[in-house]
A and B are shown apart, each in its own frame.
Chain A
Amino acid sequence: MIKRLITVVIVFVLVAGGAFAAGAPEAVPEDEDLRIALLVKSLGNAFFEAARDGAMEAAEELGDVEIIYQGPDEPTAEGQIEIIDSLIAQGVHAIAISSNDPDALVPATQRAQAAGIEVVTFDSDIHPDGRSVFLAPSDDELIGRSQVQAMAEMIDYQGQIAILSASATATNQNIWIEYMQQELEEPEYSDMELVDIVYGDDLSDQSYREAMGLFSSYPDLAGIISPTTVGVAATARAIEDEGLVGQVQLTGLGLPSEMSQYVQDGVSQQVALWNPIELGYGITYIAYHLVRGNAEAAPGAVIPLGELGEVELDEELVTFVGEPFVFDASNIADFEDIY
């Protein structure tokens, strides 16, 4: 048995060592097509499929780009690392990642960088040590402030409002809520009062119960802001079930596919969300220009993003595409099949 084991190992090593091939790719010649991998949190997610469509669009415009769309079947860091390793082995030119873990991917992306691969991130960042540019979905401050502005217009700048968030520990949610509170301190909102912040943990039924709780605790509640796709959909259902349409206003970050009917029925006049198509489109341009050497990943650098115009990198090499895209009754039906 042991002898056989050794034989197997020897044969295996021989087979494995039988061929040697090139290691890291050299500088990319002008006439070579670029292979850019879009590595998303997990496959089977409509949001990322929309981002892929944007990337494809950019690839078509640029002409000499091939897009590889990949992601693990479970949204885990291990799954993404496995794919990064295979992308390194394939010698792609760039990897654009929406990550499941800001730290866990860093060793793998650093290996990729060491192999000469350009690593950029979009939508969900990793630690700056492991990437060059991050294309944020939108600016945190813009997201926070614009939602308060939208709500204020719906309720005529007066009345009680509440926030229904995801979990109390989610970093991005807390940043947005902070900006919402800052915005509310401006003088034009003096007649508006933020009465409560509740957490639905991004679970549909729990968010629904939290919304119900708000209705009974604050009978005069004028509006709810829910900066999470799960929360805003659950709140819309709660408003409709309780017959409070028109009495309690709603806005937040919502997927057109989930919110279309509610927006068209007037449960919510408008929701916002960044546009994944633009994210995929933009990050492809960024990766392309970095690999081709047309742009440099340095603070203050300006990168052209095709139809989206230009973006400028900040101190931490972060940039964003634009304001959150607003969906209302006039346009939401156009997007409901997309994401």
Chain B
Amino acid sequence: MSGEQARLAKQPRASLGQRALGLLVRWEMVLFLLLIGVFVLNSNLSPVFLTQRNLLNATFSFMERAIMALPMMLIIISGEIDISVAGIIALSATAMGLASEAGASIPVMILVALATGLAAGLLNAFIVLRFRVPSIAVTIGSMSLFRGVSWAILGNQAISGYPRELAQLGQGTVGNTMIPMPLVMFACLALVFGIVLHRTGIGRTIFAIGNNATATQFSGIPVDRYKAVLFALNGLVAGFAAVLLTSRILSTRPNIAMAWELEVVTLVVLGGVAITGGKGSIIGVVLSIFVTGYLRFGLSLINVPSQVIGIITGLLLVGAIILPGVFEHYSNKLILGKQLKPLEPQRE
């Protein structure tokens, strides 16, 4: 018995070949190969793609969405979704603009944007949890609400005249290097989110909630409180994205960040996060951010019309939902020889 137990207590063992195969057929590896494919393809199509300056500068245009993907990743893993993120960005940016017009200093403007985002996230949480409505329905509604408020305040007008110093945040680079400020912020946030998700009890609990919220609740964990925090965090980070975006374009219109919610969800789902919750990894999401970002950049370098880029993004979303599942199905078969799950409900 003790021999058996000693064996059990070890880390999961597999032959070297199996382990190598296991690593190879992970979804993250597929994304990594995709990223290399995007680089090879783009550098062949355009001579200017593979330059340090261009690769770094290109990140300016997708870092706000990349940052939004981080809390969205947590929400989707927990089995919920927030479609209203782009609406929150519009609302937070509007609030920030009003603060700027009222003569607020930059730190105050940033606080106003963050507070507005946080409040919007809390409103989502309140409706979802208090009235037990599916989050997809609630946040589709609140998406229109947040953007609608922004329209009502701004109409066809734009708020501009932000102080020049604000630009350093969203347009600046670090010191004398060419490294964009938003890229550095994203890297820091991704590290924090990754550690929280994969290394802490909080992350473990988020996975547990997404896999089986009932059993998690029956384990004495305040599931609703966790979800509320996730929605609030999503709002807060959306507020931060609004600050970065405003700093980058120094202007606020009600239509900013239009349709970004779908792009953010695409990034997360393409990263291998199950849309049904309970599964995902930070590496997958980070890889999918750069795959999509550089794919778009590469395509626009050869002047592919933006509608075609839109079609490709749409295909990615559909593929992102189907592929990881199909992929896992076959990779399990390949490595573990696991019995495939039957399609009909079965006992045992």
Contact = CB atoms under 8 A, between A and B. Distances in A.
Interface of A: 1-2, 4-5, 8-9, 12, 15-23, 43-44, 68, 70-79, 81-83, 85-86, 88-91, 101-107, 167, 169-170
Contact of B303 (A68, A76, A106): A68
Interface of B: 28, 32, 35-36, 39, 43, 46-58, 60-61, 155-158, 160-161, 167, 171, 187, 191, 194-195, 198-199, 245, 248-251, 253, 255-259, 281-283, 286-287, 290, 296-297, 300-301, 303, 305-307, 309-310
Contact of A167 (B36, B58, B155): B155
A104 B306 contact: no
A1 B198 contact: yes
B39 to A, nearest CB: 6
Going nearest first, the 7 A-B pairs with the smallest beta carbon separation are: A104-B251, A103-B160, A104-B249, A86-B300, A21-B51, A82-B61, A103-B251
B283 A15 contact: no
Contact of B55 (A16, A73, A78, A90): A16
B306 A106 contact: no
B251 A101 contact: yes
Contact of B51 (A4, A20, A68, A78): A20
Most A CB within 10 A of own CB, among B36, B56, B187, B258: B258
Contact of B301 (A79, A89, A105): A89
Nearest to A8: B283
Given A71-B306, A86-B301, A76 B256 contact: yes
A173 B199 CA distance: 59
15 contacts: A4-B28, A5-B194, A8-B287, A20-B52, A21-B50, A76-B258, A81-B248, A81-B249, A82-B300, A86-B58, A86-B301, A89-B48, A107-B249, A107-B250, A169-B155
B336 to A, nearest CB: 20
A227 B41 CA distance: 49
Nearest to A35: B303
Given A83-B306, A104-B250, A89 B257 contact: no
Given A12-B290, A70-B306, A91-B48, A78 B249 contact: yes
A107 B253 contact: no
B74 to A, nearest CB: 16
Given A101-B249, A103-B251, A74 B160 contact: no
Contact of A17 (B36, B49, B52, B158): B52
B56 A78 contact: no
Contacts of B282: 1, 5
Given A103-B158, A103-B251, A78 B306 contact: no
Nearest to B290: A12
B313 to A, nearest CB: 10
B307 A73 contact: yes
A18 B50 contact: yes
B255 A74 contact: yes
Contacts of B60: 85
B157 A70 contact: no
Contacts of A70: 300, 303, 305-306
A22 B258 CA distance: 34
B156 A170 contact: yes
A86 B297 contact: yes
